Structures are given as C-alpha cells and as structure tokens.
Amino acid sequence: MFSFDKCINLDANLEPYNYKRWCYILKNNVVNIILIAVFIYPIIIGFLKKNSSEALKEVINSIFTSLALIVSIIIGSKKVWIIFQMHNEGKFNNIYEYLPNWIMNLCTKNLFITRIVVTISFILVIQGILVFILWVASSIILTPILEAIDNSLKRKSNLARRIYGALFQSPKAICNLVVLCFLLSFGAMFNKNPKYMNTLEKSQIYTYLSNNVVNPVINSNVVKNLPQVVNDSFKIIVEDTDISKNDKSVFNEYLDRKAIIYYNGITLDEGVKSSASINKTALSIVKENGSTYEKSEDIYNWIGNNIKYDDEKAMEVISNNLKIVKSGAVEAFNTGKGVCFDYACLFVAMCRANDIQVRMVIGEGFNGEQWVSHSWNEFYDESSDRWISVDTTFYSGGNYFDNNNFENDHRNSKVVGQW
C-alpha cells in the first residue's frame, strides 16, 4: 500500500519512474498533488461512466474550451495593453460618464486590481468568442463521426467500453493539466508571494510542463508580460555622439578606449552613487546572517516592490530630453520611480552597501512587442561560483531573479561596470 511515511528523507534526484521518486514528488509539494489529481480525475470519471457519443461530445467540448482558454490567455496577455493605451488616449471617456463615481474612484485608487480584472475580463471575452466558433464547427463536422463511433462501441463489452471511456478522457486530462500550468504561470505574474513562487519552483511536474509546454509558447515572441516600456527608454551618449543600439562595433570600441559614456544623461559612476539613506535601507532589508544569494534576492524584492516604472520619464528619454531628466540610484530611491537604468543603478548601490560583487549590464530587452535598449544587473554568488542575472525593472512581469529563461527576453548583453 502507498504510504507517505515511506517518503521521508528520500533523495530528490532519484531516477524517473522510480517508486521512491514519485513518493518524494508527492510528499514534498502540494502543487504536484493538485496537478496529478487534475490529470487523473477525468480518466476515472471516463472509466466509471463508460463510453457514449454524448460523453465524447462532452470531452471534445471540454477540450475546445481548454484550448480556447490557452489561446485566449496568450492573445489576451499580449493585447491587453491596447485596452490601457485606449484608456490613456481617452477613447473610453464617453463610457466613463455613465459609470458611478464610486466605481471610477475605486478603479483609480486600486490600479493593480483594476489591471488584473481588466486582463481577466479581456481573456474571458476572447475565450467566449473562440468557444462559440469551435462549437459551431464541432456541430457541423464532428457530430456524425461521433455517432458512428458510438454505434460501433455499443457492440463491445462493458469493460471494453469503460476502457475506451477512460482513453477518450485522456485528451481532456492532458488539456486540464496544461491549462492549470498556464493559470499557475499567469498567477505568478501578479502574485509575488515568495512562498507561492518557491512552491511552484519546487514542483517537478510543474517545472517539467512549464519548461516543455508553457515557456516555449509564452517565449515564442507571443506574450511577454513586462512593464509598459513602449520604446527605447535607455540612451547611451559617447562624447555627445548618440550611439545606435545596432552599432555594436562602434560602441564596443568606445568601451575599450574608456571614453566618457553617458547613460540617460549621466555617467555610470554618477548613476550608481549611493547615499546614507540608501545604505541604511540596504542593510536593514537583508537577512542579518543571510548568504550573498539571499541578500541579493532581498534587495531584488525590495526594489521590485518599492520602485515603480516611470512612463513619463521614459517618454522624455525617448524624446531625447535628457537635460531635464534626473537619473540614477539616488533619484530612484528618493522618488520611488524610474526607468531601467535607475532600477539597475539602485541595485548596484544596495549590493555595494552589503559588500556584494555586482555588475551593470546593458543590452536589449523584449517589451512584449519589440526589442528595446535595456539595462539590468548581475551579482556574484560565491557558493555557486557564478554570476547570476537579475532584472528588477521586469519584477512585475514575473520572476527575473536567477531565472533559467532569462535569455528569452534579454539579448546582446554587455557588462559596462563591475564593483
């Protein structure tokens, strides 16, 4: 008999399909148990109910609904920014006039919740349209085929029909599993609770499906839930010469010559300059006896939770109004907002306050629509002897601390400073 008591103190790195391996998987993560239950449930129901044309119709409709939800999540997450852009352009002002003031005030004061509600509503509308289209197609094409299959299976024994019933539920079981993984990943974009993120990361089943199903879809330039960086909000000036992000050879030459380089109007040394307040905060937010890795993660989480992306400043940078733009760690800390360069500078300043080796990296980041100039960080972890990539700017878009998929939306990286 299966017993969780046998699972205590087992090594997580056991061979696949080994009894002890699956004991460990079930024992150590509730997400694993939920995913397995979601997969097994429809198969058991199919076995108990046996096979029929009506059951097959239910299965196919369920599969269509699941597929429609996956597609709607992809499309909705990619295109929901259009809704917010139309809002900013005043396209919905006529509609807002008919809404009660308390609703408008509630939405204005709770922008994060409003974003979630609008995104989910947008996804559900798309799903409804897709389900209707698939239902019409199914009624015309699949109904005659299913009735023919049902007539053939009626001549089989009860056991055979139960087995067929379980088999026909397998596609639904797989779809349920994939949909749940998509929803868990979607939830991770909004829920920054460390326990939630840690539970997902420790789930072997979720990790496998995420790496082999969810991430290939999400990272195929289809959907990237990142901050609303509409264009290049990071400018590099070398001796009053604007270096194009595409002119890599010229830029590298300037780096090699140690020329004076300006990032968003200031030098790198000016950007990472700290203050007494920054140093005090940096020391207070980390675990007292924590490792370099833990302290760096504490800094990452603090910046992600306390610094907001400055869309107005981004537009000023894009418009080359660098003379009126204030940048760097001190500016981001004092105002609680900034663009990618400010985020990266503040991470450097806080790491230096904790004696953590840190780098400034520039390159390109994917903003959901295109590749744009971007900056992020790396810190050195002594315990694993490696430089670990960190992007505090993209904090609201998912886990960008020691993320195995970091290179999917970061490219052409160049280390421009190390401390």
- 264 and 333: one domain? yes
CATH classification of the domain holding 263:
3.10.620
- 33 and 170: one domain? yes
Q: What is the pTM of this model?
A: 0.48
- 250 and 133: one domain? no
Residue 219: CB partners within 8 Å, gap ≥ 6?
405, 408, 409
150: domain range? 4-218
- 96-125 pLDDT, tens digit per residue, is 778 888 877 777 666 656 767 777 788 888
- 271-310 pLDDT, tens digit per residue, is 888 889 989 999 998 888 889 899 999 999 899 888 888 7
- 84 and 167: one domain? yes
- 245 and 198: one domain? no
Stretch 20-32: mean pLDDT? 59
Query: Which stretch of 312-316, 353-357, 361-365 has the lowest confidence by average pLDDT?
Result: 312-316
- 19 and 158: one domain? yes
- 350 and 397: one domain? yes
Give the CA-trace dihedral at 410, 414, 416, 418, to 10 degrees.
Answer: 80
- 64 and 107: one domain? yes
- 339 and 409: one domain? yes
CA angle 339, 340, 341 (to 5 degrees): 95
Structure token digits, residue 339: 């663009």
- 211 and 247: one domain? no
HEC per residue, 13-35: CCCCCCHHHHHHHHHHCHHHHHH
d(CA 109, CA 88): 16
Half-sphere exposure of residue 6: CA atoms within 13 angstroms, side-chain side: 8
